[in-house]
Structure 1
Amino acid sequence: MSTHRLILGVQVLVGLLVLAEAFWWWERPSALSPWVQWSPSGTSAGFQIQDREPTTPAEGATATLTFAFTSDLHGRISNTRLLPERKPSGLAHLVTVLQGLRVEHSDLVLLDAGDTIQGDPASFYFSHVHPDSGQPLPVINAMNRLGYQAVVLGNHDFEPPVSVLQQTIADSEFSWLSGNAWLDREGRWLLPPYLVLELQGVRVGIVGFTTPGVPLWIDPERIAGLVFGDLVDSARKWSEILRERENVDLLIGVMHSGDDLRYDRDIAHLRKLPSPNAAGQVADHVPGYDLIVSGHAHKLRPRKPTSRLTRFRTPLLSPGSEGEGVSIARFTLEAREARWHLRDSHFEFHKAARKPDAPLLAELEPQLAEVERYLAEPTWIVLKTRPTRKQLNACGSALQHKAVAHAFGADATTLLPGSWFLVDLPQAELGQPVTRKHLFGWVPYDNTLVETELFRRQIVQLLETHRRRLLGRRVRYSGWLVPGGIAAVLEGDRLRLEQKNGSSVSDTDSLRVWLTNYHANGGSGLRDRALVHPTQIRRRTGVFLRELLFTWLQELPEPLPVECQSWLAESVVPT
């Protein structure tokens, strides 16, 4: 009996050592990290704490400072180009707005709260299809022309290849900031944490912060070795440094982080990550800041002019997304006893102009035209009519499984997003081929395919949102996966998994399952709720789901799925 227990104990110990080794291998900073030898170049280079002497304004002097903010641009230049929409948005629609503001406020400071270089077809094309164009990304060209002074690093900014992000930082005529992203655990900063400006005799500190939820969504090789610190701790650290060592008179925290602490908090804590959305917590609990700017959540507040923002102890402003306008903060300071004191504040929002700025579009025209040619590439499929949301989702689910099975094997099992984006189809496009442009509208996220090996209970857990939908309950669409290659049959209120031959998947069966990298990395918390161990991720293909869909529709290796035939049709002749 004792010998048996000894053998069992040794086996358990060996198992734990193997598990620990697997975790160590997965989580350790890679010696091949693309960030190991990197340091910022261009305007972001050469950061140092200056230990400045305090300013000494004349008694009774006043200064009025104006700041303009955008956030979550996601590469948007104009709603009139690439993927046309009705609502005016994009940097080209902010030109006249900013020109008017600068007539009144010549030293206006223009800042952005992150998620800048990913999310539109132009950024995708010049990051992944033609990254060696020798030109800055169109959004960076536009921001340079508009006179931005600083941009915060957002989570989506890590989605392009690392070389593209690093070159983008070098191409920018403004500073990239992050006060909580580090090259290693020794605290070498990835980017300058802050920028100090002298305006009308007032010293202004602008600190940038990146959501520490980056590892939940971004491929590990993109961020190998990087450390993302807690927002509250980092905000407190830089507040003390800027107030006590840099002697700033006004301090603004620009955060790529939402203000709802509960959102994604539990998901992050499963991975022992700090809360991703802590801007409100900073505004309530970290002293020293005169304004917190909150991006990431795509919120817009305030919409109407106001002199008070009272939801948090420190005023918190959210500038919206995709260049729908600019948020303005105006501060009046007065000098008393040889120090500047904040006297008045004012906040307002200016909508994007209806028409884009023609000179800026003309400057970007060669790049935009190249992307539009790429988007116009046709498939063998014709649009018969506008789909309903239900028709679009059913067709998309069937198409993506067929595309993956064609590329990676007929026996592929897929758990892929169940919701596609329903976009407006102009009447003129009916009867015309489906093009890349349509797929960018229906499948806007730049998700790649990841092969995993999962057990039945893990698959069932990943399909929990699908189960809830089958029961008629409301769900969060970002976590809705639909099965392909297997059937998920509702029995009572539980799911039973069936293979193609009709046999049930047992607890001991493991299946090769294809996920998007968003869900494989931890997006929506599915990976961690299903206890997917890193060693169960077999390979990351780098193949974009949207491009795989386009290839399938262009080659059409088999008939169109029946789920699509109510609104799509095969071409009679090549398109």
Structure 2
Amino acid sequence: MKLVFLHSSDTHGYLLPTDYQNDGEYNAPFGLSRVASAIKAEKAKWGAEHVVVTDAGDCLQGSPLAAYAHGSGDLKNLDRFTAAYNAVGYDVRCLGNHDFNFGQSYMANYVDNNQAPFVNCNILDAETHMPALGREYVILERSGVKIGVIGITTQYIPHWEAADRIKGLEFKSAFEQVNKLAKKLKPQVDVLAVLYHGGFESDIEDGHATEPHNGENEGYRILTEIPEVDVMLTGHQHRRLNVIKDGKPCVQPGYRGEAIAEVVLDLDKTEDGYKVKSAESTLIDTKDYDSDPELAQIVQPLDRATQKWL
């Protein structure tokens, strides 16, 4: 049995293949419309019953189009922006730190109108201590295989974000929250994936510190100290990361939709369920795929308005 994860992150509102530096040029080697085409091609190759499609956040902010959609003050533009992400066909998503840049109301509108559930176990309502947006995890099923996906976001957001944009929220350590949830969730599923808008604070191969261990990135601790985790689907650092560590894939697909990460697990069926026999992973460059016409059509009016605004 093959189980495939197709993963994007940090598209930053680059919905079409343009950086808006040259009016009318749509041949940049990135963009959500290329991501959509790559995902649809790989999904057709493997079969939908074998595939889980994920995204690790930082979608609402970053491009001129994203700035226009927010700055226009017209929520119909946010609806069209959101519809573009819906057209990709995600199964589960998480929030990124830059998704807070335009305030909680704007972000909540975006989350509420997404077709895919958002998973978030460490950004909590300060009064109820429950997830402020989304849910802690989801359990999906593909061809009889049960897949748990825990969602987390870097806890470092209060160091960057204006206080009024995170009012009423508390941010917990990603490591601590996953450590608790993994022990609870793993007995219920065959495969446990962590969908993390955060990266790695230490070199994955040898463990030496690559940045201050201040809690911004906790991926190395999650990978090496929580044995229940089978797959790490990450973002935030804009790295092109594709590593198998002790049989566990760790991926991160760059920036602006330049690539998607593909993780392929070979599973054996046992009396106790499915077990991971082996794992492979790769980064697929989206420059080799044309823009998805459905997504491009959705975005076209918003793109034209953005170009006029610029």
* 1-structure distance, mates of 2:55, 2:262: 12
Q: Deviation per CA, 1:429-448, whole angstroms, max 9, x where unpaired?
A: xxxxxxxxxxxxxxxxxxxx
Matching residue within 69, 72, 76 for 1:126:
69
Please name the residue that 1:150 is paired with.
92
Shift of residue 186, structure 1, vs aligned partner: 4.7
| Paired amino acid for 1:143 | Y
Cα distance, 1:235–1:135 mapped onto 2, change above 3 Å = closer
Which deviations, in whole Å up to 9, do the C-alpha atoms of 1:163-193 show, x marking residues without a partner? Answer: 2111101111111121111101652111211
Are 1:103 and 2:44 counterparts? yes
TM alignment of 1:305-454, pairs within 5 A: 309-310=244-245, 314-354=248-288, 355-375=290-310
**1:269-315 deviations in Å (ceiling 9; x for gaps):** xxxxxx1111111101112010112210000122xxxxx713x6743
For the structure 1 residues 359 and 314, does the alpha-carbon distance in structure 2 shift closer, same or farther, using more than 3 Å as the test? closer
**What's the counterpart of residue 205 of structure 2?**
none
Q: Offset of 1:332 from its aligned partner?
A: 1.6
Q: Does 1:112 align with 2:55?
A: yes
Once the 2 structures are TM-superposed, how far is the Cα of residue 134 of structure 1 from its aligned partner? 6.1
- Equivalent pair of 1:280/1:316 in contact (CA under 8 Å): no
What is the CA deviation profile of residues 469-528 of structure 1, one whole-angstrom value per residue up to 9, with x for unaligned ones?
A: xxxxxxxxxxxxxxxxxxxxxxxxxxxxxxxxxxxxxxxxxxxxxxxxxxxxxxxxxxxx
Matched, 1:170 2:112: yes
Alignment match of 1:74 (pick from 9, 12, 23) = 12
Aligned to 1:233: 176
Tell me if structure 2 keeps the 8 A contact 1:65–1:332: yes
Aligned-partner Cα distance in 1 for 2:272–2:103: 50
Does the CA-based 8 Å contact 2:36-2:88 persist in structure 1?
yes
Aligned partner of 1:220 in structure 2 is: 163
Secondary structure (helix, strand or coil) at the match of 1:146 reads coil
Gap change, CA 1:96 and 1:225, over 3 Å in 2? closer
Query: How many residues matched?
Result: 297
TM superposition score normalised by structure 2: 0.89
Provide the rounded CA distance (Å) in 2 between the counterparts of 1:197 and 1:359.
Answer: 26
| Higher alpha-carbon Rg | 1
Contact map agreement 1:283 1:313 (CA 8 A) in 2: no
SS of equivalent to 1:177: coil
Specify the alignment match of 1:256 in structure 2: 197
CA contact (8 A) 2:10 2:56 kept: yes
Measured in 2, the distance between the counterparts of 1:293 and 1:154 equals 13
Cα drift, residue 353 of structure 1 = 3.4
Aligned-residue offset at 1:76? 1.0
Q: Could you say if the C-alpha distance between residues 314 and 342 of structure 1 is closer, same or farther in structure 2, counting changes exceeding 3 Å?
A: closer
Q: TM-score, normalised to structure 1's length?
A: 0.49
Describe the superposition over 1:20-73 as per-residue Cα deviations: whole angstroms up to 9, x where unpaired.
xxxxxxxxxxxxxxxxxxxxxxxxxxxxxxxxxxxxxxxxxxx21111001111
Shift of 1:95: 3.0
Deviation, 1:318, is: 1.5
**Aligned partner letter, 1:232:** F
Going from structure 1 to structure 2, the CA distance change for 1:132 and 1:113 (only over 3 Å counts) comes to closer
Q: Secondary structure at the match of 2:192?
A: strand
Distance 1:175 1:76 in 2: 21
Distance in 1, Cα, partners of 2:141 & 2:75: 38
Which residue identity does 2:73 align to in structure 1? H
Instruction: Tell whether the 8 Å contact from 2:19 to 2:63 is kept in structure 1 after alignment.
Output: no
Write the distance in 2 (CA, Å) between the matches of 1:74 and 1:80. Answer: 12
Does the residue aligned with 1:136 lie in a helix, a strand or coil?
helix
Question: What displacement does 1:137 show?
Answer: 4.7
Counterpart amino acid of residue 293 in structure 1: L
After superposition, the C-alpha distances for 1:515-558 in whole angstroms (9 at most, x for unaligned) are xxxxxxxxxxxxxxxxxxxxxxxxxxxxxxxxxxxxxxxxxxxx
Q: Kindly indicate whether the alpha-carbon contact (under 8 Å) linking 1:257 and 1:279 is maintained by their aligned counterparts in 2.
A: yes
Say which SS state the counterpart of residue 244 (structure 2) adopts. coil
Where 1:68 maps in the other structure, the secondary structure is: strand
Cα offset for 1:371?
Answer: 0.9
What is the distance in 2 between the residues matched to 1:97 and 1:69?
A: 11
Secondary structure (helix, strand or coil) at the match of 2:76 reads: coil
Any idea what the Cα deviations from partners look like across 1:174-222, whole Å, max 9, x if unmatched?
Answer: 1112111110165211121111101110100011111000001111011
Distance 1:226 1:131, change over 3 A: same
Deviations 1:119-165 (A, max 9, x none): 11121112123333365152x22221110112111110000132211
2:220 partner letter: G
Aligned to 1:296: 236
Change (3 A) 1:333 1:295: same
Partner residue of 2:123? 181
Question: Deviation above 6 Å: which 4+ runs of structure 1?
Answer: none
Q: Kindly indicate whether the alpha-carbon contact (under 8 Å) linking 1:66 and 1:329 is maintained by their aligned counterparts in 2.
A: yes
Instruction: Give the CA deviation at 1:363.
Output: 2.5
- In 2, Cα distance between the equivalents of 1:81 and 1:74? 11
Q: Per the alignment, in what secondary structure is the counterpart of residue 255 of structure 1?
A: strand
Counterpart Cα distance in 1 of 2:88 and 2:33? 9
Unaligned runs of 5+ in 1: 1-62, 269-274, 303-307, 376-575
Partner of 1:160: 102
- Cα RMSD between the aligned structures? 2.1
| Structure 2 letter corresponding to 1:286 | I
**Residues 87 and 260 of structure 1: CA distance in aligned 2, closer, same or farther (over 3 Å):** farther
Counterpart secondary structure, 2:233: strand
1:309 aligned counterpart, secondary structure: strand
Query: How many Å separate the matches in 1 of 2:250 and 2:19?
Result: 33
